[in-house]
Chains A and B, each alone.
Chain A
Amino acid sequence: MNGSETKPVWLDTYNFAFLDEGSKREIRRKTLKAVAIPGYQVPFASREMPIARGWGTGGLQLTLALIGRGDRLKVIDQGSDDSVNAVSIRRLVENTTGIETTVDTAAATLIQTRHRIPEQPLRAGQILVLQVPLPEPLRLIEPREEVTRRQHAEMDYSAMWLALYEDIVRWGDITVGHSYPCLAHGRYLFSPSPIPRWDIPKLHQAACLYLFGAGREKRIYAIPPYTDVQPLSFDDYPFAVERLAGACCRLCGSTSTFLYEIDDAASGQKLYQCSDTAYCQQRRQERGQA
């Protein structure tokens, strides 16, 4: 972008990518371990960052530890490249590395995201870093870390299944909307971070690498390429993604993307819009050219 014209003083003040090399090395090692054990939460020494914990420090530390001079970064927040948080993180990385950023999913080598996976399928070689508020899928059912660790160790996920069963008994269906519990390669139960159900199938047998960073909870976990990811589901209540019957994006007309509901104050109508702004824009450009 315009990094070369007004070169910020930080580039000389801070180490490349803000973190010191020792910290980066530790995070990379933990990441390798996470890749080796899909879905297993690897503890790491989460650093103090120049943004508040809970605002994506886990994802940011992964990004900063992994980014190199040849990378192109994309940062999205709930599908949008333009939200305050996305812009702040993008600027921080630009200012401390001097590398280029992009909004184009296909052009990016490294994507940091919160609560969404881009609509455009990711290819081999790309890394998607997800910010995770609650890495432990069992935490809401079992508050004791000692117990949840044992449950993971023994692969005893009956408590999770029981929660889903109770959901069905009470509400007629599984009401989990985001952070849907999934099994990584038939072994570890993991939280895919608060992505909608819509995005869950993208985790299964994907070509790219998914990394999950939880700064406050100090955990890193990963879904490496071509890993089986199975959302927990009963034989008679199969997993299903969200569907809005008859809805389409008011901007690009898409019916095959994850849509947001918008109340139009003027008309009192419900309108829908693509959650993935970059994908929406791209579709509109393509249609305009056509």
Chain B
Amino acid sequence: MMNQAGRAIAAVSAINEEQPLLAVSGLGKRYGPGCPACLDLQGQRCPQCGSLWACYDISFDLYPGEILGLVGESGSGKSTLLRCLYFEEEATTGIMTIPSYQGGPANLLAASAQQQRYIRNHMMGMVFQNPWLGLRMHVSGGGNIAEKLLAAGVYHVGRIRTRAAELWRQVEMPLPRLDEYPQNFSGGMQQRVQIAKALANKPPLLLLDEVTTGLDLSVQARVLDLVRQIQRELGVAMLLVSHDLAVIRMLADRTMVMHQGRLVEQGLTDQVLEDPEHPYTQLLVRSLL
């Protein structure tokens, strides 16, 4: 009989085969100056210095091609975390690495603005809950996609338009409307354009922030189908933020639960939903199912 230690070693070496696409450890975001008393206050403003930790000590790995769900009530810090990962906000603490980028070990949260912009343009795409944050409303739909391609150094109008049309088809938008302004589009279409824009440079990672919130049920369903199809066909890894457990159940392989700025639970999606361990997760699951 193989002894315990041997089994443990076998298990460890087997997981080591797989390298995460994105590794985050100890990420924190504080608004305000901060003081030693702040950390004990979960999700509340510090009475001494007025600071607020919107995220604290967030650690997780995201693997190539998987959909990682992130649930939590509004104000739990989900969007702040995503904005930190997309360098929209400057994280206060923590390390974020992309092992496949320039050998990997560098902490990208501390990288130069140019490097961060390179990663945003080549390795990540983000879809915002509010399309006004993700799209330039006074630039044509095709132009929105072009912006990403131009940032990646494609200075050829013909090639830009070919790629934009390809993406347009991929997100099932009507081609004749490629040069229209996104402000003329419906909410569901705006999300499609955001997805097309996010995919422009074929990034291995998409950050999706409540992509279906505020859409009609039928439109919501079709956007989710699109997300699933993209994940299946392009093998893009996704960090999917939602407060809708049905969306998480449908799409995510693994799920993390955020509460008052901290990750309180992470696990396989079915396990988190059917066998929640943290009191908050139990409340969340019972509230919504």
A interface residue numbers (CB < 8 A to B): 150, 153-156, 158-159, 161-162, 165-166, 168-170, 233-237
Contact = CB atoms under 8 A, between A and B. Distances in A.
A154 B143 contact: no
B4 interface: no
B150 A165 contact: yes
A169 B140 contact: yes
Contacts of B113: 150, 153-154
A164 to B, nearest CB: 9
Nearest to A159: B147
Contacts of B160: 165
A154 B114 contact: yes
A155 to B, nearest CB: 8
B156 A165 contact: no
B117 interface: yes
Interface in B160-206: 160, 179
Nearest to B113: A154
A154 B151 CA distance: 12
Interface string B46-88: 0000000000000000000000000000000000000000000
Given A165-B150, A165-B160, A235-B155, A154 B142 contact: no
Nearest to B156: A235
A185 to B, nearest CB: 18
A169 B151 contact: no
Interface of B: 113-114, 117, 136, 139-140, 142-143, 146-147, 150-151, 155-158, 160, 179
Given A154-B113, A154-B117, A162 B157 contact: no
B191 to A, nearest CB: 21
12 contacts: A154-B117, A156-B151, A159-B147, A162-B143, A165-B146, A165-B160, A166-B139, A170-B140, A170-B179, A234-B156, A236-B156, A237-B157
B150 A162 contact: yes
Contacts of B117: 154, 156
A89 B162 CA distance: 53
A150 B116 CA distance: 14
Given A156-B117, A234-B157, 15 more contacts: A150-B113, A154-B113, A154-B117, A156-B151, A158-B147, A161-B155, A162-B147, A162-B150, A165-B146, A165-B160, A166-B143, A169-B140, A169-B142, A170-B140, A234-B156
B155 A162 contact: no
Contacts of A153: 113
Nearest to A233: B155
B147 A168 contact: no
A155 B113 CA distance: 11
Contacts of A234: 155-157
Contacts of A156: 117, 151
Nearest to A153: B113
A236 B150 CA distance: 14
A233 B156 CA distance: 9
A158 B200 CA distance: 14
B117 to A, nearest CB: 6
A149 to B, nearest CB: 12
Nearest to A155: B114
Contacts of A170: 140, 179
